[in-house]
Amino acid sequence: MSSLYKSALQARISKLPHPDTVAPFNEEDEESEAADSIGMLPPGGGLGPPAMQPREPNPHFAPISAAGFFQEAAQVAVPSRALDVRIYHTPAPASDGTVMVCHHGAGYSGLSFACFAKEVAALSNGECGAMAFDARRHGKTTSTDGKDDDLSIGVLVEDFIELLKTVFPDPAQAPTLLLVGHSMGGSVVTQACPTLQEAKYRIAGVAVLDVVEGSAIDALPHMNSLLNARPDGFDSVEEAVEWHVSTNTIHNANSARVSIPAIFKHVEDGYPPYQWRTPLRSTAPYWLSWFQGLSNKFLAARTARILILAGTDRLDKELMIGQMQGKFQQVVVPGVGHMLHEDDPTRIAEIMVEFWKRNERVIVGVKKVGER
| pLDDT tens readout for residues 297-309 | 999 999 999 999 9
Say which residue, 361 or 108, is predicted with more confidence. Answer: 108
Model pLDDT, residue 139:
97
Model pLDDT, residue 361:
58
d(CA 231, CA 220): 20
Model pLDDT, residue 280:
94
Name the average pLDDT for the chain: 86
Q: Where are the domains of the chain?
A: 3-26+70-226+289-359
Which residues does 103 contact at the CB level (< 8 Å), separation at least 6? 132, 133, 135, 160, 179, 180, 181, 182, 184, 185, 186, 188, 189
Range with lowest mean pLDDT among 87-101, 107-121, 123-137, 189-203:
87-101
Instruction: Write down the pTM of the prediction.
Output: 0.85
Q: Give the CATH class of 3-26+70-226+289-359.
A: alpha beta
Question: What is the share, in percent, of the chain residues with pLDDT greater than 90?
Answer: 75
Please compute the mean of the pLDDT values over residues 99-104 and round it to a whole number: 98
DSSP string, 187-232: HHHHHHHHHHHHTT--EEEEEEES--HHHHHHHGGGHHHHHHTS-S
Model pLDDT, residue 313:
61
Nearest to 262, CA basis, from 277, 251, 273: 277
Nearest to 66, CA basis, from 102, 27, 100: 27
Nearest to 183, CA basis, from 113, 279, 256: 113
Residue 331 CA: distances (Å) to CA of 210, 267, 361? 10, 41, 22
Model pLDDT, residue 155:
98
Q: Give the model's confidence band at 270: pLDDT under 50 very low, under 70 low, under 90 confident, else very high.
A: confident
d(CA 247, CA 236): 17
Model pLDDT, residue 94:
80
Helix (H, G, I), strand (E, B) or coil at 97: coil
Q: Give the model's confidence band at 55: pLDDT under 50 very low, under 70 low, under 90 confident, else very high.
A: confident
Q: Give the model's confidence band at 312: pLDDT under 50 very low, under 70 low, under 90 confident, else very high.
A: low
Q: 194 with 302: CB under 8 angstroms?
A: yes
Catalytic residue ranges: 183, 210, 338
Count of Cβ atoms closer than 10 Å to residue 20 Cβ? 7
Model pLDDT, residue 35:
35
* DSSP assignment letter at 272: S
N- to C-terminal Cα separation, the chain: 29
Say which residue, 128 or 370, is predicted with more confidence. Answer: 128
Model pLDDT, residue 360:
74
- Cα dihedral 337→218→296→117 (10° resolution): -20
Please compute the mean of the pLDDT values over residues 191-216 and round it to a whole number: 97
